[in-house]
Structure 1
Amino acid sequence: MQLPATQAQLSPVAGDASNRRYFRLQLPLRTVIVVDAPPATEKNREFLAVDALLAQSGVRVPEVLAADQERGYLLLEDLGDALLLSRLNGINVDHYYGQALAILRQLAAADTAAVALPEYAAQLLAEELARFPQWFLQRLLGLDLDAGEQAMLAGLDAALIGSALAQPRVLVHRDFHSRNLMCLANDSLAVIDFQDAVLGPVTYDPVSLLRDCYIRWPRARVEQWALGHRDSLHAAGLLPAVDDSTFLHWFDWMGLQRHLKVLGTFARLSLRDGKTAYLADLPLVLEHILEVLQVYAGQDVQLDAFHDWFRQRLQPAIADQSWSGR
């Protein structure tokens, strides 16, 4: 699509954690979204492949109107500005989460044979967990870990990775939360930011949604949603029978892996990329982590060791930070 420069009215649109830049282009009869996605850093090929896969699976995603992969430009359908996060409240959350979990059932049922999706393998899980000591502990908090602390974290990582790999595999969005779900004019949801999709643990996307880094719900409600999702997957033939205790264990430990990764990722976004606004989200992520550690207190040696260290070493260091809210 080409327009004379005099007809091109571009206005910036709020971006995400990536290097992509978004602009709204005003056309005579509608608006579209222009994405400046440098091919050296952005997964444009993956975005296009997963967009097509999700659309074929019945998931509402932005229509790709044009793409120049070589130069890193995409022209997408304009889905508006209404992020799910801006709409959520205690009254409508069941309505919206019901839609979101239905989308996750569509992902679980998707035929991924035609798309070369990477596996959420042990190496990738470990690389994500490594961000926690490197960026959050050492770079942001200035903590130097001794050999005993490093061994403790290595043991925790092994336990979390083992739990993740024990789960059935499905198509995983990998960042399925309230800032990557758009509320459309008809009150349905559309999915964005899916270029990092993998084949991975069945609880990864549910815990990303239900234990969102940007909003928190009571544990009893979260468990109800999680087990209801388990039941719906089983009823659809997408998941074998899994008892409550096992599924919640998978769910909680997957969330712990994700939130430790997020601590490192948000610290890196602030320190390396200058996106300091993410520091304001760290306290809620820490609350999610502490909740799981408290629930499993006395049930696992690795988690207990980390919980003790978290209280004795980490919390005092966090309290000194301007973003801690203390």
Structure 2
Amino acid sequence: MADNPSDPDSSRAQAREAWARAASGEPGLQLHRASADAGFRSYWRGQSDQAACVIVMDSPPELEDVRPWLQVRDLLAGGGVRVPRVLARDVEAGFLLLEDLGADTLLHVLDADNADAHFDAAVDQLLRLQAIPCPADLPAYDESLLSRELHLFDDWFLGRHLGITLDRDESGVLETSYRHLVDTALAQPQVLVHRDFMPRNLMPAGGGPAVLDFQDAVRGPIAYDPLSLFKDAFLSWPEERVQAWLSRYHARAAQAGLPVPVLERFMRDADLIGVQRHLKVLGIFARLHHRDGKPKYLADAPRFLDYLDAVLRRHAELAPLAALIDRHVRPALA
């Protein structure tokens, strides 16, 4: 069994500290947990009396290879996206020394008064990201991945969390809805997609905001990342502001030469890829609770039902899905 990287007495912790001191040239460097919920990776803030803060990424190689993170990081940096600077690395051991971008993410500093400015700056980075040509070996947000994510909703949220068993007709409603969502996603113009481009993964920084948590990037639907930015997992905005921000993103993307369709089609695409994401996230939150012992995320489940309510009734082809959610999910949560 691998050492727990969060255990200060483990051999992994000792190796991490020794490497960080050598890599930084600071023998008195002390490491303190900087963030959690990064899969098998952990992040540690290094401080000493003589040095500015640094961040150590610890990615135990037997659990999570650091090379995909580095490959995508270098791809984004090459396209002008603001990403954390790598100060030192030991790929075989799974240690990186990174610049410290501070403790506050964009989620911590956003409010109703400054949101326009912060989102404009975030879109600056997003447009650069989406303009990067996708490497031939970049995974695709293909039918298999889109479908697998959607089934997290019925497997983990409906089944495991709510204990709901659908009859054959209701299962057919889900499958028909999933088919429509997958088909419309695949029909969108395809670009580099971060897959979690939201305020918690953006850091206010010089030349920023800096983009984090990009290692799962794929080639996929152009509306996915802007929708993720404005319909965040942890912070909701009035629907009219979201629609205005999406419209502004569309105008800027078109001006930048990105392959956005006409506005009406783009807004429809954003709606539908949003439904795919909202269903997936409900499934992920249930899985985090039941499989990983992280129950706090389910407190945000009502937010995603509100997101679905705002969209499903705009699209007649998804009315059966709306009815299924009204019949089963709302009563179960109430």
**Alignment TM-score > 0.5, same fold:** yes
Query: What is aligned with 1:280?
Result: 299
Task: Say if 2:67 and 2:91, in contact at 8 Å, map to a contact too.
Answer: yes
* Deviation digits for residues 77-96 of structure 1 (CA, Å, limit 9, x no counterpart): 11111110111111110000
Query: What is aligned with 2:21?
Result: 3
Structure 2 CA distance for aligned equivalents of residues 86 and 60 of structure 1: 19
> Aligned ranges for residues 18-167 of structure 1 at < 5 Å?
18-27=39-48, 28-113=50-135, 116-167=137-188
Measure how far apart 1:278 and its partner are: 0.9
Structure 2 CA distance for aligned equivalents of residues 137 and 217 of structure 1: 26
* Deviation digits for residues 125-158 of structure 1 (CA, Å, limit 9, x no counterpart): 0111111111111111111222222211111110
Structure 1 CA distance for aligned equivalents of residues 98 and 59 of structure 2: 12
Residue 238 of structure 1, aligned match among 258, 262, 279: 258
SS at match of 2:200: coil
Task: Say if 2:20 and 2:29, in contact at 8 Å, map to a contact too.
Answer: no
Aligned length: 312
Task: Say if 2:143 and 2:182, in contact at 8 Å, map to a contact too.
Answer: yes
Task: Say if 2:44 and 2:56, in contact at 8 Å, map to a contact too.
Answer: yes
The percent of aligned pairs where both chains have the same amino acid is 44
Structure 2 segments unaligned to the other structure (5+ residues): 1-18
Task: Say if 1:44 and 1:195, in contact at 8 Å, map to a contact too.
Answer: no
Query: What is aligned with 1:201?
Result: 221
Structure 1 segments unaligned to the other structure (5+ residues): 320-326
Tell me the C-alpha RMSD between the 2 structures.
1.8
Structure 2 CA distance for aligned equivalents of residues 70 and 159 of structure 1: 43
Structure 1 CA distance for aligned equivalents of residues 61 and 175 of structure 2: 34
Measure how far apart 1:8 and its partner are: 3.1
Q: TM-score, normalised by structure 2?
A: 0.89
SS at match of 1:24: strand
* Deviation digits for residues 253-281 of structure 1 (CA, Å, limit 9, x no counterpart): 00000010000111111111111111122
- Shifted more, 69-78 versus 158-167: the winner is 69-78
Structure 2 CA distance for aligned equivalents of residues 180 and 231 of structure 1: 24
Structure 1 CA distance for aligned equivalents of residues 103 and 82 of structure 2: 15
Residue 310 of structure 1, aligned match among 318, 321, 325: 325
